[in-house]
Structure 1
Amino acid sequence: MEKLPLRVLACGDVEGRLETLFGRVRAIQSKSGRFDMLLCVGDFFSSTSDAEWAEYRSGAKKGRRGLFSGTSGLQIAYLSGTESQDEPTPAYSFSSKDVTELKSSLLSTLNFKGVDILLTSPWPRDVESFANSPGEIDTKKCGSTLISDLAASLKPRYHFAALEKAYYERLPYRNHTVLQETPQHVTRFIALAEVGNTSKKKYLYAFSIIPMSLMDPAELVKQPQDVTENPYRKLRKGTQKTKVLGCAEEETACQFFFDLKKHQGKKRSSDGKDRGSTQTKQAKKPSQPTGPCWFCLASPEVEKHLVVSIGTHCYLALAKGGLLPDHVLILPIGHYQSVVDLSSEVMEEVTKYKSALKEFFRSKGKRYVLFERNYKSQHLQLQVIPVPLDYSSEDIKECFITQAQEQQIELLEIPEHSDITQVVHPGTPYFYVELDTGEKLFHRIRGSFPLQFGRAVLASGALLALPQRSDWRSCTASRPEEEAQASAFRRDFQPFDFA
């Protein structure tokens, strides 16, 4: 039997303009046929309250929160009023307790997958993250974090709100973590303006919906092309157990650090006891290249005119055919294949260069993205590419994850307390991204891998919009041009160069 969709109208702040609203609804139905229901969010009554509304205002009657389940199977969750910190909470407001109780009553339901519709008056805080702009509305200042938390938990297919006198239809967002969780349905957030507004902003939204309980599961979880990351991802992370990539979730119990004043030449553990060198990470000797290496500093193949800084164990050089003029590489002076192979001394200096580059790029209104491809490469190259500070770390991670998903690449986030050396053993092929915030993404390469992936993501329209420069071979410059770029970088970087 064919499942007929329900035809629904959603409306923004009515503010007592009932004749205007119903006149508009009658006009729509005369042209498009009858709708099954009309849902209203925001301020419904006018400022001149009548006796019936007074009973709700006084608390004699309440309608603060709940779940409406229609005979069709449609489930509509609602939370009335605006957020309040007062106790007891006024009848026309809600508190964190209301949100907690509404979540508990629904999430405890067997096999809860979400609700069809969520109705709230305020917008959820940060709803525009990863998505199209709502214009003049700043969602980092308006709206409610309690609503964000509620939406993240209830996973509505449609979420309607009002109060800001603006129309905003956000791009649909996903309710699962790509490649880590089973695909789920998307959420569409729509904010509506006030009825009869003079600016002619949209206050009525028409849509058709089949209750999720009646839908084919594969059809329900189909992802539209314009789907984005979940804007409340940080909230979801706070309620979920961090997934660690095959390593222990606890931090190592004994962390080592140098105490140069009291224990020269030794390392001391966090419990204050001396440890012999046999218990620390053994210093590794660089392996020998199997043939000519373009990056061993002592090699005649190195293009030394691109070198901009030389430390004790590492050096910096401009990338040949760089994506940008200040695209730089962090390289070990000796021959190491990957970060996982580095000795503690070399790794310490890599970290110092990262810190110096972070300060340098921040002084220019930029942040860096670093990536390593330990696949079909002989010598470790940490590619460091600046992007404008306008791009948040969440924007950048979303861009990498989305483009990885398109190419069936499993790109996972490494928990903050973990390091890549805890995730993969020496000799294992991998791709690795690190932001200047310390956030990291990782892919273990098990088959083939696109050699230009990291660079192509950064060159894409979602970030630097330089697709014509995604391959270094099409970006090579003459030697005089390279020398001029290296000289300029060396001069600008000098105040930040510890070496």
Structure 2
Amino acid sequence: MSTAKVLTVGSAVGSIRDLFAKIKSIDDKHGKFDLVLCLGDFFGPPKDAADAYEEDHEVMQLLNGRLEAPVECYIMQGEYPLPAPVIEKFAKTGGALSQNVFLLHKSGVLTTAQGIRIACLAGVYDSNVYASEDALGFTSPYFTSKTVEKLLANTLTTSKPKEQNYTSLASIKSSSTSSQLVDIFISNAWPSGITHFSSAPLPAPELASIGVEPVAEIVRKTKPRYHFTSGGGHPPRFWEREPYTWDEDNGRVSRFVSIGAFGGEQPSGKKPRWFYAFSIAPLSATSEPQPKPANATQNPFLHRPPKRPLDTGAQQPGKRSRTDGQGPSDKPPAGYKCKICESPEHFITDCPDREKPHEGYICRICKESGHFIRDCPVKNAVGDTGGRKPREGYVCRACASELHYIEDCPVANQTGHGNRQGRRGPPKEIAPDECWFCLSNPNLAKHLIVSIGSECYVTLPKGQIIPTHQGANHPNVPRVPGGGHVLIVPITHYPTYLSIPPDLAEPIVDETEKYKAALRSMYAKHGAAAVCFEVGRMSAKGGHAHVQVVPVPSKLKNAVEDAFNEEARALNITFEDDPDEALRACAGGRGGYFRVDLPDGRKMVHLMRDHGPFSIQFGRQVLVSILGMADRFDWKACTQSEEEDKEDVAAFKAAFAPFDPSL
């Protein structure tokens, strides 16, 4: 990994050719730049219809390759919906609008060739729209809570243009951690509180109150080293805040810069600064602490500014006086010692060690050291219906699920046997850091990941069906290295594949099918066939879509369909006569389903009833029956040591490498 030289520019507002000419001039004089981040509205207000863009329009010249960028440019959505031709090109290419111009997802994260992680939150904030249940696409100028959740779910992944061949995905595979930190964050909206503790004069007084809390929440979780925005007023003004630090993250330094617009309406007087050039190198866990800048202020996202005192000239009794409004409480009186660290320099409420558990402290929830119970990352873990997460080994008596208690079960509550009221409110959405498949969850078993693509990753599951150490001599064990039972998981959090918004689904589904095809080819080399199945549960509103792929010996592949039908009859499960029509009925998340892809490519689909029982272990139940391995039904009984898991991962990755579409 190496230092990246980055140029950030303000909104072009449709002046694309002029902006490219300016970028070339700056690059010739101060470059060479590795990339350009184009903030805000690149295209300006869209026309009413797609056919309103004539061939000579700059938008069409860009899309047709006749208007070329001098440096690799990444653009975002600003305050307007994107032009229809741009959205159509994005849908076809996944982001590449022309040879050197790439459109970032509305809530995406990419990693550059130098290892720099860049997060983007596009669109503008509206409190009435923000609570929407949908992650709005480019046809809307707004972002919602789902947009923010998707961004935070993706902070350990990359979203790269399909035509690029970045090597950073390989680095993710080898260095994936539970950290959500990013190097650069770009947004239109300012974060709330960013002006607190700052003495840098604002170019307009109204900027002191334009920040919004969702952006501040992203900053608190991702701690960007640089945060650039384009929404500093109308027209946008330039404002650079003093740096601030995150002491608990090795003194990480953050900088906030709001950039003026290149094109469009300009404020009166001198044109605001519309570009910002800088160099940045990736940080790692072993990097030396960054020196604290001399002008660094308190962190506006960790501290609240002091309340403005009443102008009475007297101090309230019993209250400690504050300093000049820029720091913590005054020093303690003579003889005072902090009860935590025994320092005479501060009160106990200001002690830097206050939030650190004493040596030997173990959290009672996760049995780990290093944090108090109140800070435990899994303290709020919930089941698939929004209630408490059951203890290990619990099985709901109403529907056989292991992911919720019976009092939270929709089946039990429908019949009045759940909680005392006989019903429950809508289930709560599982947050990305609580989802067991989101890469941002610190509890995800990242050592089991075997491949990461642009839209999906592939991982061995905990307790896979195929025995690889004990029991590996079973006569029906497929001879796929590492076992071969894997999950294909979309990087972005969606409940099911059919609930993915249509304008975002194509690249995810395409990559999933590529992985399926690659796995089939790999299995065939080792005398096995692939059975793929997905449990698409919508009623729980909180799962993470994934497809399980399990190898079976080629001699048993013709028995798969009969086995599913036989087990389905025993459980009163019916498969639809027209699988494709059944899947269309569930499009847009309109219902739950169970899908099987047979070894010969045909599909079997069961539509779940709204309140009917369906075991999420149905697919596994059928597969262990086919293989004659009834003892492998309970995945918890099949878990291995981390060392054994890593042996399986190494064996599988080596065998899968010639087929892996991400390589």
TM-score interval, normalised by the smaller of the two chains: 0.3 to 0.5
- For normalisation by structure 1, the TM-score amounts to 0.47
TM-score, length-scaled by structure 2: 0.36
